[in-house]
Structure 1
Amino acid sequence: MSTPPPTGPLVTRETLAAQLRELGVRSGETLLVHSSLSSLGWVCGGAVTVVRGLLDALGPDGTLVVPTQSADLSDPSVWSNPPVPEEWWDTIRATMPEYDPLVTPSLGVGVIPETVRTWPGAVRSAHPQTSFAAVGPRARHLTDGHATDCRLGERSPLARLEALDARVLLLGAGYDACTCFHLAEYRIPSPLVKVGRPGPAGWEVVTEVSITSERFDELGHDFERDRPVVRGTAGAADVRLFPLADAVAYAQRWLAIHRPRAEEI
């Protein structure tokens, strides 16, 4: 049986950078990118080409930021995809490696963030489950000081991105992946939860604000309807570009109305 030809379009570093500039990505800006490599088409050079294209569009004075989450550093009792036998839980908790920003791989955010994480000059924030990696002149400022008991709130890179007037680029990703909406969850009454993870002294449990992407697709639909969002394509991928602060402010109002949640542990 013959192998079918690849699905296009053909994407190169040059075509991607040009399309991003046409959509309005500005040289020198700070950009939080959520991405899907498979959505782009046939990319010559894969994720490395995409990162180079993004950095070309941003220029030497721009800063690229991506989520590099490691949700597998969590309590095995909450794992569902797949679950593990209960008799394994204690052993997993006792032997799970501690988070190391230089070594711990990202999980569930795609190959492009993992490529950024290992890029020359990249720096990564300290939260063991919801870190961000960045490349560029503002990378250190954005990633330093990520509190280990604040996943995506005021002491995370999201708040610093907001203060720097960063923008969000959804490159083939949907609003369900839009992490800045979580910053709004910290600004409305939200429940608190106990979160287990490996720590410097062994297994630890911390209290965190509960976060969920539930209804983020609906939130994004309404945000796009009501606020200015640049829409277009890069390769075969749908692209959306918008100010992070605008999205957070809209989400704060929207979530308070459409997804009320009691404040409780």
Structure 2
Amino acid sequence: MDELALLERSQGPVTRTRLVRDLSALGLHAGDTVMFHTRLSALGYVTGGSQTVIDALREVVGEQGTLMVTCGWNDAPPYEWTTWPAEWQEAIRAGHPAFDPERSEADHSYGRLPEALRLQPGAVRSRHPDASFAALGAAAHRLMDDHPWDDPHGPDTPLARLVELGGKVLLLGAPLDSLTLLHHAEALADAPGKRFVDYEQPIAVDGRRVWRRFHDIDSSEGAFDYVPVVGEERDAFEVIADDFLAAGGGVKGHVGAAASHVFDARDLTGFGVRWLEAKLRR
């Protein structure tokens, strides 16, 4: 989309001052711990792009606040690489670099902001190659350190610690189905038919590249078969979020030109667990 179209969408430039005003009106405050998801183009024409968004968020949450994003690993070997022909597997095992929290790029499908945040001076990235997160601010190490290798969306993970810290989730023009926090609800829910994956990825151990086996809910294809509950046309996370909003949870507003939402992490997780356990036991 060209600059003029973006400017028309936002009725002029979206500056840092405008973002700060809109974010504050949406309910973010100094000292908040905020996990955010952004579709940058939805905001309109942002002067300075990703850096301006990060600067505005940091201004709103202040020195005692913390920002958090989901990163993943853009160049992670796919889950199914161990089913490839033996020659291809040998090439991957011999030559694929180990995950490096400081150098490995964030998943491009998450947009520009996760990579921009993880590159900020002082940012901390969690150690998990497939489910990594990054944080910047006062609680960054508390959120990121010692990310469990297995069940990386469950207890004592960055998502669990976000809940424990009374954190918030911000969608800046991002769709409701981007709520990564609901993977935490999936990990916690006691419901039948939960699906898991086991996979291998390379990490560094004492300076050596080591292939490690990981175990997690299937966050790629879905931790549950949601089709009987939500149909084939809708995403389950979108439905859960819509139901949460209908029940009075969350705050809706606009930041720049973008329809945006703020959710209390604890409330959304609890609602998600209850929703899953009720709907999937029918």
TM-score by length of 1: 0.88
SS in 1 for 2:252: strand
Task: Provide the residue aligned with 2:210 in structure 1.
Answer: 202
Q: Which structure 2 residue ranges, 5 or more long, are not aligned?
A: 224-234
Task: Provide the residue aligned with 2:48 in structure 1.
Answer: 45
Task: Provide the residue aligned with 2:228 in structure 1.
Answer: none
Cα deviation for residue 4 of structure 1 reads 7.5
In the alignment, the residues of structure 2 paired with residue 234 and residue 180 of structure 1 have an alpha-carbon distance, to the nearest angstrom, of 21
Aligned residues: 255
**Matched-pair identity in %:** 36
Residues 47, 230 of structure 1: CA spacing in aligned structure 2 closer, same or farther, 3 A cutoff?
same
- Contact kept, 8 Å, 1:76 with 1:92, in 2: the verdict is no
* Cα deviation 1:191-245 (Å, max 9, x = unaligned): 3321221233433332223333851111111111113211011111111011001
In the alignment, the residues of structure 1 paired with residue 242 and residue 85 of structure 2 have an alpha-carbon distance, to the nearest angstrom, of 39
- Contact kept, 8 Å, 2:74 with 2:104, in 1: the verdict is no
In the alignment, the residues of structure 2 paired with residue 142 and residue 245 of structure 1 have an alpha-carbon distance, to the nearest angstrom, of 15
In the alignment, the residues of structure 2 paired with residue 228 and residue 186 of structure 1 have an alpha-carbon distance, to the nearest angstrom, of 21
> Quick check: which one's helix share is greater?
2
Task: Provide the residue aligned with 1:143 in structure 2.
Answer: 144
- Contact kept, 8 Å, 1:76 with 1:89, in 2: the verdict is no
Does residue 60 (structure 1) correspond to residue 63 (structure 2)? The answer is yes
SS in 1 for 2:249: coil
- Contact kept, 8 Å, 2:151 with 2:215, in 1: the verdict is no
Task: Provide the residue aligned with 2:227 in structure 1.
Answer: none
- Contact kept, 8 Å, 1:188 with 1:256, in 2: the verdict is yes
Superposition map of 1:97-246 within 5 A: 97-107=97-107, 108-189=109-190, 190-200=194-204, 201-211=209-219, 212=222, 215-246=236-267
- Contact kept, 8 Å, 1:11 with 1:44, in 2: the verdict is yes
List 4+ stretches of structure 1 deviating above 4 A: 84-87
* Cα deviation 1:140-195 (Å, max 9, x = unaligned): 11111211223211131111111110011111112211111111111124233212
Residues 92, 259 of structure 1: CA spacing in aligned structure 2 closer, same or farther, 3 A cutoff?
farther
